[in-house]
Amino acid sequence: MAHLGQPRSMTPTLRASLCLLGLVFSLGDGRQHRTRSVSKEEAVETYTKYYNYVELTGRLLSLAHSYPHIANLSSIGQSVEGRELWVMRITKDPSVDTPGTPKFKYVGNMHGDETVSRQVLVYLVEYLLTKYGEDPRISELVNTTDIYIMPSMNPDGFEKSKEGDCSGDNGGRNNAKNMDLNRSFPDQYDGTTVDSRDIPEVMAVMRWIQEKKFVLSGNLHGGTVVASYPFDDSASHERQGLYSQSEDDGLFRYLALVYSHNHPLMKTGQPNCPEAMDETFKDGITNGAQWYDVPGGMQDYNYLYGNCLEITMELSCCKYPFATELQKEWDLNRESLLAYMEKVHIGVHGFVKETVSGTALANVSILVAGIHHNLSTGQYGDYHRLLLPGTYNITAVSSGYTSVTVNNVQVTDGKASEVNFTLVPVVNEHAGSINTPSSSIPPNISTSIGNTSDSTKSLVEPPEGHVDIPPSSTPEQKPMQPEEFRHHNYADMELFLRKFSSEYPSITYLYSIGRSVEDRELYVMVISDNPRVHEHGEPEFKYVGNMHGNEVVGRELLLNLIEYLCRNYGTDNEVTHLVNNTRIHIMPSMNPDGYEVASEGDVKGYKGRNNSHNFDLNRNFPDQFTTIKEPRQPETIAVMNWLKSIPFVLSANLHGGSLVVNYPFDDDRDRITHYSQSPDDKVFQQLSKSYSEANPLMHSGHPCVDLYPTAYFQDGITNGANWYNVAGGMQDWNYLNTNCFEVTIELGCVKYPPAKDLPKYWEQNRRPLLQFVHQVHSGVKGTVSDIRDGTGIPNATIKVDGIDHNITTALTGDYWRLLVPGTYYITAFAHGYKPVMTYATVSRHGVELVDFRLTRVHSDPNSQSLSGPQPKLDPSEEEFHSLIKNLSLGQGLDQLVKSTSTENSFRFRRYKDLSAFLRGLNLNFPKITALHSLGQSVEIRTIWALEISNNPGEAEPSEPKIRFVAGIHGNAPVGTELLLEFAAFLCINYGKNPAITRLINETQIVIVPSINPDGREQATEKQCTSTQGLTNVHGKDLDTDFFGNASQRVVEPQPETRAMMDLILDKSYTLSVTLDGGSLVATYPYDKPVQSVENEGTLKYLATVYAKNHPKMHLGDTGCSNNGQIGNIPDGVMRAAERQSHMGSMKDFSMDFGHCPEITVYTGCCLFPPAEQLATLWAENKKPLLSMLVEVHKGVRGVVRDKSGKPIVGAIIVLNGGVRVFTAEGGFFHALLAPGNHNIEAVADGYQQQRQEVVVSSNEAASFIIIEFDMDNSIFGLPREFVVASAAASMTALVVTACIIWCVCAAKSNRQKDGFHRLRQHRDDYDDEIRLTSMGSKKSLLAHEFQDESESDEETLYANKI
């Protein structure tokens, strides 16, 4: 059992009390707790006192110690104040799970001041343990049941309560956060409304329920005497008197009667409680909602989400009676408690196994015909379905297997009937393949680029309802049709959706993707066997209706379809197959505002067509050929975000005004009416015909003879642009920006027909609507995985040869690619892996299964690998790597955002308030913060930097360091407020949220909220375009003042600039994120005009990470009409110079001189918006800011050292032959890189250069590598031995040469001595001649050097004399 929610640490007083008991136990979850010896006298129960927490703990530990063969005590979590939520497990062998043994639980003291249950359950524990082996009834119960008893779910509340308080006046009902635990579970009508951090007790119990798959449960309360059963609330939340019936209403009544009829007082139905003397309950039971409405109750959660049936037992009129009453209460409830437990063995039970290997199948849905409430098998394939005596048809359903139904199962009054299921896989086995093809498919011959055995294929044939053959139900069991046809306004539609969501919770999930202009929810109903999550291998399908508010037929047909699928699931083969194998999303109305103003009877008008801002939503999406200048509408933005978040495969957009299926493209570059073909034109034609051919009137091609007599569509389909041009349409955006293929279906000639005609429309379109859903199971599908460990590879690309349109894999590596019948060559490739190619033959009957197993790219064989032992991750590092991966995949980051909300009151702060806020953070969180002054502005305001780390102020070169900066332009202070809130958010959640705590512990975070405080003081709120405050008080735009070379700088930098330059030149930063305003885009270096950018792929990727986590930015639609920035910017990212080129930017300085990549995020169009918008801006930027904290841990990191282990500081790490980073203290380095393969060169003076190819993943933390240098044995690039030998030989040659020269010179010297002797005798005669000869010699050298052939008179004289 694991904790959900982060509990507070145990209080010192509580810890000391436990120590006094001499207990030895671990607070780790789910571990057995041991005690020292306890005396026999301590084990005697007196029934005369209540146990406080310490005494309860001691009592339970004593019992567990005394009966270890049948008892095991564990904790499923902790309360707000750190008390353990003890659970005693009692069964034949409590150390293991026995397959087929049903699990039962009792929970007491949920309301802390309702205390009888707490003591009664302790007595029950003792009774079961002491009577085991003596009483045959108890022995059988323990031997055949896995019993879990939690005496107190709210130990904190109990400690506050007072004995004798019958009405709860003294508090203690709620937990220590003052939350009512029985109003805090997710509600079927209201969803989750409580902050999970305030209810650790509830979160722990929810996790417990999900893990254990209990069969039956009882929740014990106090305040009256009655057994209450689901549902506890209703959609309308009427205070009382409204019976809210569940699918198992009769069974719940029976179970409640079992308890009440065995309770002497309860069965009378007249508790005679002093505060409600007139309150009676027939037979001592009541429907919860009929008694009074309880939203967020535990018993409904158990039934709807936990596989478990639970009722609530109220045990006594007085909530906290005096202890003298305890013996009486135990006597009153003992038999009821035992009899109720025994009912866990009624109904039907058995196992579900796979036919080939006999493997147990978990999570198989067990359906009982006529009861629209399913449960699923446990980990051993076992199930227990409680049922009343009768005859039932029971079906086992699992994705990938043929459903099996056992008819006429007899359930008797007594022990459960055993019904086992053996399911046959849909995939046929064939030798020579892992998931082998059927015999109709050629042998698996695959061609890979680098590997020849890394793809597998098979044909998956649906048992019913395959792509082209409409299925039919058996004559005896015709599908149920919708019960009524009428137009539904918004309120009516909302209630309809909530009704079916509550009636069919096991296959439906109702959610909203956003709101319309007039604040109406944009509802979507999911229908699937596992509706809340994407199941690996199961395609996502969607229908969207009522995009034009006055085109209403689609809206009503989709409501009809919801009813049809829900009511026929489990009884109609086609519906059951579709629901079990497809996740179907249905949005009845994309334009609920327009619908409300439209009028019934409108044939071809426009009233209500547009949204409340009078914009046509089907002209409002970014277009490939035309710039859409109209502002993006909230409905459009919501749908775009929706489509980016779910891997939809196929979709239809339902319209009205004609009768035809329209497919992409909807427009073309020339804006003229002619055929505009997409790369998948044949696929779109096939999809369109699947609908039109099932609708005879549409297929005729002459749909609206009276209204449009000349209109003709061959086969009832048309290319959009060939009909008329539509720029900004939704279907083209689907195809070009997601994996989804969408067509537009015009359902009828009249836009808003009278309600009496709606049955006709349903009859015409029921078959086509179902047939179109079947098309999602055509083409090819499969998984792209890592060949080493089978892990799915997200965002891998699937390319079909000859079709210029690729799709990508979902988060777990699964993909779907729609194709027409034929043979194709398909390639899968992903960053860091070798691509694999194979062929696939697509038939008309089902989908071809093609799996790809990719091999990671190996290092260049000619390169020198990084030497030295490469480290293995210790458990803590593995845990952190797992955290980074979880936050990078799926909903990990979204869940973190949702679970870490903080109380905030947004306003714009001036310098004084900003400084006080930062000091306050430092004072309140001194262990994780340090406040530094970087310098001062012109007007002597401090430029603050707040460091957040588990060791603030200390250099930790092994950790990445990230810089968040804002306020370089004083007139754009949004970034400043976002960073202040971000800092508070991190500090407040440290120690409370495990993910935030770990991120802070592993990262050095520096936040500079305002570089230009002087400019901020001058700026004015609600000025979206004003330049007042943009510069510092010297009139200098600080983002043009960062020059690293003295030759580029004319004057000294501004003091604000100098402060930031000193920070940047620290060179220890891994990443920098700067927030600015005036646009909605993320930019990457450079701001200066350069033709090419080194490492541009990485820089653009970092900006894209921020943008894709922003709900609007990634859509690429800025809508900033105030600054001319209109239109579509791909992915919301651009190079900074393309936005506004300039020199001297901080971003460029960080790149060139700080060796740190920096991105600039423009958070909104308005520079200085009203303070009321700050909450929205924070909500938009919270996730992107967190994503940067995650991203800084990716790329590549490591340490450089020599063979002796000495770290090498200042070594150069060259990335892809260009960008350089330097090793810091300790030899550590960290470089961010885009996903893919990268070359790393390590260079240091005196050492051999090393080179390595590394693979970076978008979802994994940076691997730590060790580079160990050898001494460089080369000189001038030549081997040291060769150079030394050559040098020795050269020296020898020089010595010999010198000796020879000396000998020659000595001989010449002897001959010259006689000449000099004669010269001395005739010195006077020769002096003049020698002088002239000398001068002539020099002159002749000059003449020779310059090649001067002319002679002066003086030169001739010299020559003659010589």
Which residues are known to be catalytic? 314, 746
Beta bridge partners, 779, equal 847
Q: DSSP H helical segments within 787-890, as ranges?
A: 875-888
**933 membership: H or E segment, kind and range:** strand 929-936
SS3 content of the chain, % helix, strand, coil (to 5): 35, 20, 45
b/e per residue 318-334 (b: at least 16 CB within 10 A): bbbbebeebeebbebbb
Is residue 1069 within 8 A of residue 964, CB to CB? The reply is no
Which residues is 913 bridged to in the sheet? none
Question: What is d(CA 577, CA 1356) in angstroms, rounded to the nearest whole number?
Answer: 120
- Phi, psi (degrees; rounded to nearest 5) at 998: -70, -40
Q: What DSSP designation does 191 have?
A: B
**Core vs surface per residue 868-883: b (16+ CB within 10 A) or e:** beeeeeeeeeeebbeb
Residue 984, helix vs strand vs coil: helix
Q: What angle do CA 810, 812, 817 make, to 5 degrees?
A: 40
Would you say how long the chain is, in residues?
1362
Within 13 Å and on the Cβ side, how many CA atoms surround 875?
A: 0
Q: Whose CA is closest to 602, among 487, 760, 753?
A: 753
d(CA 858, CA 1237): 10
The 3 state secondary structure assigned to 1121-1145 is HHHCECCECHHHEEEHHHHHCCCCC
- Return the residue matching tokens 């509802």: 523
Euclidean distance between CA atoms 584 and 504, whole angstroms: 15
The tokens describing 549, both together, are 């508010």
Strands, sheet with 1071-1076, edge to edge from the N-terminal-most edge strand:
929-936, 942-948, 1004-1008, 961-966, 1071-1076, 1158-1164, 1079-1084, 1133-1135
Task: Give Cα separations from 1083 to 401, 948, 1130, 1164 (angstroms).
Answer: 50, 26, 12, 13
β-bridge partners, 826: 800, 838
With a CB cutoff of 8 Å and minimum separation 6, the contacts of 1179 are none
Give kind and range of the element (H or E) at residue 1196: strand 1196-1202
- Residue 1227 burial (10 A CB sphere; 0-12, 13-18, 19+): buried
* CB count in 10 Å sphere of residue 758: 21
Q: Chain-centre distance of CA 308, in angstroms?
A: 29
CA nearest to 1188, candidates 970, 922, 987, 1006: 1006
Contact 673, 566 (CB under 8 A): no
Q: CB–CB of 142/91 below 8 Å?
A: yes
- Assess contact for 723 and 734: CB atoms under 8 A: no
Helix (H) or strand (E) holding 999: helix 994-1001
Q: CB atoms < 10 A from the CB of 681, how many? A: 17
Q: Are strands 71-78 and 84-90 parallel, antiparallel or unpaired?
A: antiparallel
